[in-house]
Structure 1
Amino acid sequence: MHVDQIILQSVIAHRLDTIAQEMGIALERSSRSPIFAEACDFSCGVCNQKGELVSQLNGIPILAAAGSFSVQAVLAKYGDNIKEGDIFIVNDPYWGGNHLPDIGIITPVFYQGELVFFTVSRAHHGDIGGAVAGSYNTGATEIFQEGIRIPPTKVASQNIIIDEVLNLITYNTRNPEMLRSDLFAQIGANKIGHDRLRALLGKYGLEKVKESVGQLLQKAEDLTRIEISKFPPGTYVGEEWLDDDGFQQEPVKIKVAVTFKNNEVIIDFTESDKQVTGFVNSALVTTTSAAYIALLWTLSPEIPRNSGAFRPVKVIAPTGTVVNPAEPAPVTLSTLHCASEIISAILKACGKIVPERIPAGFGRYCGPSFYGVDPRNEKFYVGFAFCCLGSGGGMKGRDGLPYMAPISNYGGVRAPNNEANEVQYPLLTLRHHLEIDTAGAGKYRGAPGVKYQVEFYGPDPSIVMFGDGMKIGPYGLEGGEEGSLNKNQLVTKKKGSECLKSKTPPLSLQPGDTLTLFSSGGGGWGNPYERDPQLVYEDYKNGYISKENALKAYGVVLTDKGVQWSETEKIRGLGDLS
């Protein structure tokens, strides 16, 4: 390739990435819902005319990787009937979506009468209807109980919103004004991407841009195949488990066989459990997206995260399994769990080849949605406990990071500001800090979990507890120890103190009731006795570990002034550590 072509390709690639980022900034700043504006639970991207992902704002990885499936669903339904000025909406997990609360907005981009791109925003909305406010229905046995299903549907024509469609969707939710406003924020973000892409085409010309996009996808494919070919041929097996599905008490197995063959990879979930009754089932879009995330993590951070990188990967997920349930199985929790367990199972399998690239286990989400009427404005609200996010696992060369959320989100969801949370919702934050002795021990430890305590003061508040990780902790790797389990304590005027299950149906509370959440610490990587004792002391000073646990987990004897080196040497059975 001529040097001028290389430079042009690089310029266009960076411009496409910037457009996706600009879409994300616009979405964050124009939205009303705290889920968008505070937690940033969304992703934006650009696809080509075939629905192949070209660039993305990483945001929430499980959403970003799924963006192309929504576009392909629109293409499959509308084909040549897609016109300039159309806008489409979709959320159906069995038709291009991943779970109902994540609504995708798809905007085609035409230039000189030709369909060239799609801009895509996919975002989590606070309520999408169904039997439970917040749409995390722990008792759902079919998707119809989880909310309104939106197949690929035209929501605008000739740049004019089709009010009948938008009204039908928002009418079926508990906070229609908020949903409508946030959908317009997505439409606006897509419009910014649309206009920037048109400007890009105008500057460099249709043929040069299309050629560069094709080269970008081919480059990603080539890099992926090169990295795959470096792995020894063979099949590597990994397993991960969910606590339960809320109905059965037995754990739910995710088992994967990852086969490296020449320059291709087969990811086979055939031996995973059959689909279950509860809402941890993962529709194929979510499963495939999770598989891409895990494999590319294993291969190289230098590979562009676009559809070219997905071409050498084949995913086998038999219908009727927990990773590809038959319709109409419920799936709402799946973008957290079992998506995170799918990623973890693949990482464990690949860790048998390249353990130095693989992190220990991440904390699982286990917290409530809460809802009611805010006495300050008499408006209905739905909120989520983003402030109790679990923490990340350690990996070779670094300790885990706190507030990472499940690995399917990988830090994309932000922990909101406590004061902003108290403005948005009728609750008070009583405690919010990293919790001592929760991090999985290792040469590179996991990050500590979080203690988060709130008091509700609105009239008749209700909560729904959803999540996992109260029975199965974040795994350790290469001799590292597990992170802590999720825990909680609800204190009510009626019942006193009780521990809620990870999947608890709606509970009515009273003003003054409190909920304390203890989120998981990440798993440790490597033998804890190989951790530098001085780092253990620093963890003690920071309140991450007690003296007792420093001795028990690391063989390090501490005083308030520092490491007792002679005693530590005896316990560890090593030479001079100073």
Structure 2
Amino acid sequence: MNVDQIILQSVIAHRLDTIAQEMGAALERSSRSPIFAEACDFACGVCDHKGELVSQLNGIPILAAAGSFSVQAVLEKYTGNIQEGDVFIVNDPYRGGNHLPDIGIITPVFHQGELVFFTVSRAHHGDIGGSVAGSYNTRATEIFQEGIRIPPIKLAVKNSIIDEVLDLITYNTRNPQMLKSDLYAQIGANKIGQDRLRTLLDKYGLKKVKESIIQLLQQAEDLTKAEISKFPAGSYTGEEWLDDDGFQETPVKIKAEVTYEVNQVTIDFTGSDKQVTGFVNSSLVTTKSAAYIALLWTLSPEIPRNSGAFRPIKIIAPPGTVVNPAESAPVTLSTLHCASEIISAIFKACAKAVPEKIPAGFGRYCGPSFYGIDPRNQKFYVGFAFCCLGSGGGKKEQDGFPYMAPISNYGGVRAPNNEANEVQYPLLTLNHHLEVDTAGAGEYRGAPGIKYQVQFYGPDPSIVMFGDGMKIAPYGLGGGKEGSLNRNQLFTKESGNEWLKSKTAPRSLQPGDILTLFSSGGGGWGNPFKRNPQLVYEDYKNGYISRESALKEYGVVLTTKGIDWNETKKYRGIDYESRYNV
């Protein structure tokens, strides 16, 4: 390419990214439900006419990486019957979706009668029906108990909504007006993306834009292959476990064998457990999305996250396993768990070759959905405890980040402020702070977990606990220690304190009941005795660790005046005078 072509390609690439970001901004500002407007649990992107992802908003990674699968499902069903003014909707995990609460809206973009792009928005909706409000049914044994299943289907024709389809979907949920409003927000966000893409095509012409898209995808593929070639060739195996599936008590194994060749990586999940009864099974879309997230993380942040980067990655997921279950298996929890464990298994494998690139374990999500009638307006509500997010693991040269959510979301979910929660739901926040001695110790420590405590005051509230990480802690790497476990405690006037399991069936509460959530801290990276004692002292002053942990985990003796260097030297046997200019 000459200089002019390179500049034009860069301009178009940045414009595509800006369009995806503008779609996300529109969706955030036009939605009604807190899970959109506050938590921003969505992703937006642009695909080409073949369904290949060319640009995505840096929203929720597990949603963004899956955007092309929905478009490909639409193309598989509707090729030859996609017209200007159509809008498609899909959420079926066995037809291009992640799990039922994540609804994809797909809008084709034409230029001079030719299909060129699709705009895509995928978003998590507060309730999608099923036998449990909030649609996280811990007792589900088949997908039909989790909510309404939407195969790829037209929601609009000739720019007119098909009311019968919209009503059929929304009337099968507990808050049809909220769902309808949020679907309109997705349609509107896609329309903004559609208009911006048409402007792009009008300005630069179809030929130049299509050539640039081909080059963008090829460039991402070439960059991925170049990074693969730098990786030590060979096969590396990692294993991670979920606590359980809510039915069996034994852990559920995810096994990943990652094989690096000259210009290809194969991720083989053979050896993972068979599919299970509960809702931790991962649809193939979620499994592939999680694998892409993990593998590209190990390679380089400079690689564009588009379908070109996915081409050199081969994924083997045997049918009938927890990472590729037979159709009708329940899968609702999978975008959190086992997606996070898929990522962790790949990380553990790659850490055997390039530990300096891999973080220690992230905290797992474990919290409730809560629902009932708000006494202030007599309306039904469904909420989620986004304020109990766990924390990230340390990595070389960097401590873990707090309050990150599970690694499948990697900070994409925003935690709403407590005041907003108290306006939206009938609850009061009693505690919300980082918890001492929950961070995994290491030369680069994990971040502390969170204590989050709320009191319900509405009539007959109910909760459903869903998540993981109450038995298996975030892993440490390179001599780093594990992070803490999740814990959940319910206080009722009738029974006092009670510890809840990570997967608890719907539980009716009374006004005044108190739920306390302790989210897990991230794992540590590297030998804790190599951590700079000054940093240990700062962690103590900030309330992250106690004096007892400073001594036990880091070998640093603290007094009321600061670090006792002589005693610390006895524990560690290091010449601090020269190393730290004491």
Asked if 1:428 is matched to 2:428, the reply is yes
Asked if 1:108 is matched to 2:130, the reply is no
Match of 1:34 in 2: 34
Match of 1:126 in 2: 126
1:455-470 map, 5 Å: 455-470=455-470
- Residue 317 of structure 2 aligns to which amino acid in structure 1? A
1:207-222 map, 5 Å: 207-222=207-222
CA distance in 1, matches of 2:513, 2:569: 49
Match of 1:541 in 2: 541
CA distance in 2, matches of 1:494, 1:308: 58
Structure 1: stretches of 5+ with no match in the other structure: none
Asked if 1:497 is matched to 2:497, the reply is yes
1:241-280 map, 5 Å: 241-280=241-280
Instruction: Give CA-to-partner distance per residue, 1:13-65, whole Å, 9 cap, x none.
Output: 00000000000000000000000000000000000000000000020000000
CA distance in 2, matches of 1:221, 1:61: 19
Match of 2:551 in 1: 551
- Residue 69 of structure 2 aligns to which amino acid in structure 1? F
CA distance in 2, matches of 1:205, 1:356: 45
1:169-568 map, 5 Å: 169-568=169-568
Query: Matched residue pairs, number?
Result: 578
- Residue 513 of structure 1 aligns to which amino acid in structure 2? D
Shift of 1:235: 0.7
Asked if 1:165 is matched to 2:153, the reply is no
Instruction: Give CA-to-partner distance per residue, 1:364-415, whole Å, 9 cap, x none.
Output: 0000000000000100000000000000000001100011000000000011
Instruction: Give CA-to-partner distance per residue, 1:170-227, whole Å, 9 cap, x none.
Output: 0000000100000000000000000000000011011000000110000000000111
CA distance in 2, matches of 1:304, 1:118: 19
Instruction: Give CA-to-partner distance per residue, 1:514-556, whole Å, 9 cap, x none.
Output: 0000000000000000000000110111110000011000000
CA distance in 1, matches of 2:132, 2:169: 17
CA distance in 2, matches of 1:338, 1:559: 44
- Residue 407 of structure 1 aligns to which amino acid in structure 2? I
Shift of 1:314: 0.6
Match of 1:65 in 2: 65
Moved beyond 2 Å, runs of 4+: none
Match of 2:140 in 1: 140
CA distance in 1, matches of 2:417, 2:107: 32
Shift of 1:233: 1.9
- Residue 313 of structure 2 aligns to which amino acid in structure 1? V
Match of 2:93 in 1: 93
Shift of 1:434: 0.5
CA distance in 2, matches of 1:296, 1:553: 33
Asked if 1:574 is matched to 2:574, the reply is yes
- Please give the secondary structure, in 1, of the residue aligned with 2:556: coil
CA distance in 1, matches of 2:2, 2:427: 61
CA distance in 2, matches of 1:560, 1:436: 18
CA distance in 1, matches of 2:392, 2:561: 29
CA RMSD of aligned residues (A): 0.5
Shift of 1:495: 1.6
- Please give the secondary structure, in 1, of the residue aligned with 2:80: helix
- Residue 469 of structure 1 aligns to which amino acid in structure 2? G
CA distance in 2, matches of 1:327, 1:113: 37
Instruction: Give CA-to-partner distance per residue, 1:99-144, whole Å, 9 cap, x none.
Output: 0000000000000100000000000000000010000000000000
- Residue 448 of structure 1 aligns to which amino acid in structure 2? P
Shift of 1:559: 1.8
CA distance in 2, matches of 1:112, 1:347: 46
Shift of 1:560: 2.9
Shift of 1:561: 2.6
CA distance in 2, matches of 1:368, 1:481: 28
CA distance in 2, matches of 1:549, 1:33: 42
CA distance in 1, matches of 2:234, 2:397: 27
CA distance in 1, matches of 2:368, 2:125: 15
- Residue 58 of structure 1 aligns to which amino acid in structure 2? N
Asked if 1:24 is matched to 2:24, the reply is yes
- Residue 377 of structure 1 aligns to which amino acid in structure 2? N
Shift of 1:85: 0.2
CA distance in 2, matches of 1:261, 1:249: 38
User: TM-score by structure 1 length?
Assistant: 1.00
CA distance in 1, matches of 2:203, 2:494: 67
- Please give the secondary structure, in 2, of the residue aligned with 1:489: strand
Shift of 1:283: 0.4
CA distance in 2, matches of 1:478, 1:201: 51
- Residue 232 of structure 2 aligns to which amino acid in structure 1? P
Identity %: 84
Instruction: Give CA-to-partner distance per residue, 1:329-380, whole Å, 9 cap, x none.
Output: 0000000000000000001101111111100000000000000000001000
Shift of 1:311: 0.4
Shift of 1:507: 0.3
Shift of 1:327: 1.1
CA distance in 1, matches of 2:262, 2:494: 63
- Residue 505 of structure 1 aligns to which amino acid in structure 2? A
- Residue 205 of structure 1 aligns to which amino acid in structure 2? G
Instruction: Give CA-to-partner distance per residue, 1:224-248, whole Å, 9 cap, x none.
Output: 0111111222110000000000000
CA distance in 2, matches of 1:403, 1:33: 22
Asked if 1:6 is matched to 2:6, the reply is yes
- Please give the secondary structure, in 2, of the residue aligned with 1:80: coil
- Please give the secondary structure, in 2, of the residue aligned with 1:340: helix
CA distance in 2, matches of 1:173, 1:409: 25
Shift of 1:286: 0.1
CA distance in 1, matches of 2:350, 2:419: 42
CA distance in 2, matches of 1:486, 1:573: 35
CA distance in 1, matches of 2:412, 2:309: 21
- Residue 12 of structure 1 aligns to which amino acid in structure 2? I
Shift of 1:494: 2.1
CA distance in 2, matches of 1:165, 1:14: 36
